Structure 1
Amino acid sequence: MAGIAAAIVGCDASGEGGSTPTSTLSVNGRELAKSVPTGFDPCTDVPEQVLTEERLYKKEPTITEAPGGVVWKGCGWVYRGGGGYTLSVRMTNLTVPMVRERHFQDAAEFSVGGREAISTRQFEGPNIKDVCTVNVAVQAGSVEFTVVNPPSGRDTGHLDSCQIARSLTERIAPSIPGSL
C-alpha cells in the first residue's frame, strides 16, 4: 500500500507542486475521496456466523492513514488456537480501478454479489504468497479483505492465501448494503 500512498500528490491551483493542496486528492489521476465510505462497518457488520465458522476471534479495530489521504478503517481477527491465518476487513477510499492500475502480482478480477472485485498480492519478497488482498467496489472506495496465511500455520498453512481471501469475500460481501 505504500506504493499507492506515494503516488498521491496535491497541487496548487496552477497545477504545479506547491504548499497549498487542492481539495481533491488523486491516485494515478483518479479522484480520491477524503474519507472512507460509510454504510458498512467491518467491525460490526461482518456476520458473526462467518467468524465463528472460520474460527476467527479477538477483534482488533484498526485505522491507518497514509501520506496523501489514503485511509483504511476496520477490524482484524486472528485464527483461534494460533494455527491459521489472520483476516482484516477494512473500508478504504482506494477504488478497485486504483488498485488495478498498480499492477500488483497475481491480480485476478472477478465479480462478487454484482460488484467488481480484484485480488492481488501486494507485498514483495520471499513470502509474497503468504498475503492476499481482495478489494470489492463500493461507492467512493472499496471494502478491502486481507488474509495473512504463513505456511507454518498447522491448520491452514497448506492453503493459498488468495483462495481463503476470495472465499471469505464471497461469504461476507452479501452483507454490504446494495446502496453502498
Structure 2
Amino acid sequence: MLKMILGTMKAGKSAKLIDEASNILFQDEVVIIRPSCDTREFFTRKYKNDDLKNFNFGNENTNLSLYRFIFVDEVQFFKKDFLKKIINLSRKKEVFITVAGLLNDVKGNAWDNVETLKSYADEILHLKADCDRCGKKESAIFHIGDGGINNNYFVFCEECYNV
C-alpha cells in the first residue's frame, strides 16, 4: 500500500509522517527515510529530536526489506532508482509505505517524483499551511524560496500570492 501526504512547505507533512509512524504498535518494524541531501538539524518543528529517539532513521541506502512500515520524507528529492524500490515494495501486501512531499517546486511546476508516485497511490492526503502574509489558516497553496531543503521560503494563500 502506498499513501501520499502532499502540500506546501510548512503544511505539517513531516509531522503527519511522525504522527502516523507513532501509531504503529511494533516500532522495530518502522523506518523513517530522509534523503541524504537533507542536512537540516531537525526533522519537524512539531517534534523535538528527543521525541524521535525511538524511531529507526535511514536514507536512500537503507535496506528497506527489514521493515513493514516505511515512511519517506521529502520524496521529491530522491533519485529514480529509489522511487522504483518504493513502487515495487508498495505492491506487496505486507508492506505499508507513506511518503511526504511537496506538490510543486517554487516555480509552481510539479515534481517528477510526486507525479510518478500519484498513479501508484492508494490514498493521497493534501495539507495546507497558514499564509505567511495574512495568516489565514490552512489556506497557503503557493510557496516561494530558493528550492532547497532549508528555511529560506514563504507560503501564501492565493490572494496574497497574487499581490
Q: If you compute each CA radius of gyration, which structure gives the higher value, 1 or 2?
A: 1
Taking structure 2 as the reference length, the TM-score comes to 0.28
Taking structure 1 as the reference length, the TM-score comes to 0.27
